[in-house]
Structure 1
Amino acid sequence: MVFTHDTEVALQAAATLANSGLEPDSLQTVADLDELFTSFGYTGRHDRTRAELEAVRALRPRLYDLLTADRDDAVELVNGMLAEARALPRLVRHDDWDWHLHAVADDAPLATRFLVETAMAMVDVIRADEMSRLGVCADDDCRGVVLDLSRNRSRRFCSTACGNRNAVAAYRARQSTPS
């Protein structure tokens, strides 16, 4: 494990959310938001309204910018996000999660909690000087966020689809080259 469990999950959720704004948009309905909320183990307030969905969708460019920023720019973005939300870190334990950090109240709007949890996770990334764990997909036709939590830092594509598309293209290129 590169980071603590809560940091890794927050980074995975942030990358998923940032990438959901790429074509095809994968966060279009309240049901899509419910799936995101559940799949990453979020707790607390979840209004399940169109307004909440739109507020979360509006975060995507900010999260994308943060996750693809260089280290110094990421510091400014994180500090701004934490100040904007008046984040006050505290240790909490709930459900199947042991002690971990929350920095806004559980009844804060979901968009605020997504933003702050991403910022808090990025604090760990920045402090550990692990910005190389984040990047942009190596597929020429994609600009998705890549989160590389592998031991050997070998992840280059944001999804299996992008990786497979490039593997097939490389295979076809090799096959078309005369021996």
Structure 2
Amino acid sequence: MLFTRDTEVALAAAAALVNTDDPDGEKLPDVAALDDFVKTWGWTGERARNQAELKAVRALRPRLREIWHSDEERVVDIVNELLRESNALPQLVKHDLWDYHLHATPSNAPLAARMAVEAAMAMVDMVRAKELSRLRSCDYPTCGNVVVDLSKNRSRRFCDDGCGNRASVAAYRARKAATK
């Protein structure tokens, strides 16, 4: 493990959120899809479960995506903006199956604010560890997803949407075609 568990989960959740903004089709089309996303990633706290909340979460995605495509100075600017806008006040908390970890917003803060701050706090660890190179885009040519490479040898190239399999199949077919 490179980072604490909560940091790694927050990084993965931020990437997953960014990747819901898909040019081939919205992956958060409605409140029910947001409910599923929240459940999948274990978000706790109060929820409005309405269109305004969905709109606020969707609006967060481009700001987070920018982190994957920025230099360290811009990442720091984005992180500080997100923390400042959400009035982040880090505190140690313990709940559910989690041991002590940081929350920087109260559980009744808007979902989008909690998501923004969780992502920002995880990025703080990335910046401090000089590990921003672990934030990259999927190597599959037609994929626009972002990837967090938490492997020891920094070898992760593809997102979780099957791009690695598609790349392997394409390479296999190319090798087969070359031998004919």
Q: What's the TM-score, normalizing by structure 2? A: 0.95
**Could you tell me how far apart the structure 2 residues matched to 1:109 and 1:96 are?**
22
Could you tell me how far apart the structure 2 residues matched to 1:15 and 1:47 are?
Answer: 23
Of residues 55-64 and 21-30 in structure 1, the stretch that sits farther from structure 2 once superposed is 21-30
What 5-or-longer segments of structure 2 have no aligned partner? none
8 Å CA contact retained: 2:138, 2:144: yes
CA contact (8 A) 1:20 1:27 kept: yes
Q: CA RMSD in A?
A: 1.2
Question: Partner residue of 1:17?
Answer: 17
Per-residue CA deviation, residues 23-46 of structure 1 (Å, 9 max, x unaligned), is 232111211111111111111011
Distance 1:143 1:125 in 2: 22
The alpha carbon displacement at 1:92 in A equals 0.7
> For residue 90 of structure 1, what is the aligned residue in structure 2?
91
What secondary structure is seen at the aligned counterpart in 2 of 1:27? coil
CA distance in 1, matches of 2:69, 2:36: 25
Distance 1:81 1:55 in 2: 13
Q: Which moved more, 1:105-114 or 1:156-165?
A: 156-165
The unaligned stretches of length 5 or more in structure 1 are none
Percent identity of equivalent pairs = 55
- Distance between the aligned counterparts of 2:48 and 2:87, measured in 1? 21
Aligned partner of 1:6 in structure 2 is 6
How far off its partner does 1:69 sit? 2.0
Listed one character per residue, the Cα deviations across residues 87-121 of structure 1 (whole Å, up to 9, x for unaligned) are: 11111111111111111111010001000110000
Cα pair 1:133 1:149 within 8 Å, conserved? yes
Letter of the 1:3 partner, please give it: F
CA contact (8 A) 1:68 1:145 kept: no
Task: State the partner residue of 2:101.
Answer: 100
Counterparts of 2:84 and 2:59 in 1: how far apart (Å)? 19
Q: How many residues align?
A: 179
